Amino acid sequence: MLKITTIEVDGQCLLVLEGELTPPWVAELRKVWKDVHVSTRSLTLKVDLRDVITISREGEGVLFEMLRDGVQLVSDGIFNKYVLKQLAHKAQTRFAVQSPG
């Protein structure tokens, strides 16, 4: 299961993800992302992955698409940081890694 919460504040749109980024939830995230992208074009889009516990290959695919589209990914935790660094290297772009606190 994946919970997706959308928060708009200070010129930013934040998608907070909680749970498993696996099928069929990957398709739901892609739909929410595209809908938010269309409705909030003037806002900076960030995705908070700090409470994601599993990322499948399909999940990596949608995160890669987001990186290529300029979405900022926020994470902590060893596994999620590793996955995002690999995707960023593949996309040859930068992403944000934030620690709670």
The per-residue pLDDT for range 10-66, each reduced to its tens digit, is 889 999 999 999 999 999 999 999 999 888 777 889 999 999 999 999 999 999 999
> Structural domain of residue 74, as residue ranges?
2-91
What size, in residues, is the chain?
101
Question: Is there a domain that residue 22 lies in?
Answer: yes
Measured distance CA(38)–CA(58) in Å, rounded: 22
Question: Is there a domain that residue 96 lies in?
Answer: no
Question: Is there a domain that residue 15 lies in?
Answer: yes
State the virtual CA torsion across 35, 87, 75, 27 in degrees, nearest 10.
30
What pTM value is reported for the model? 0.85
In the chain, the number of structural domains is 1
Q: What is the CATH number of the domain that holds 85?
A: 3.30.750.24
Per-residue model confidence (pLDDT) at position 99: 53
Alpha-carbon radius of gyration of the chain: 12
Per-residue model confidence (pLDDT) at position 46: 94
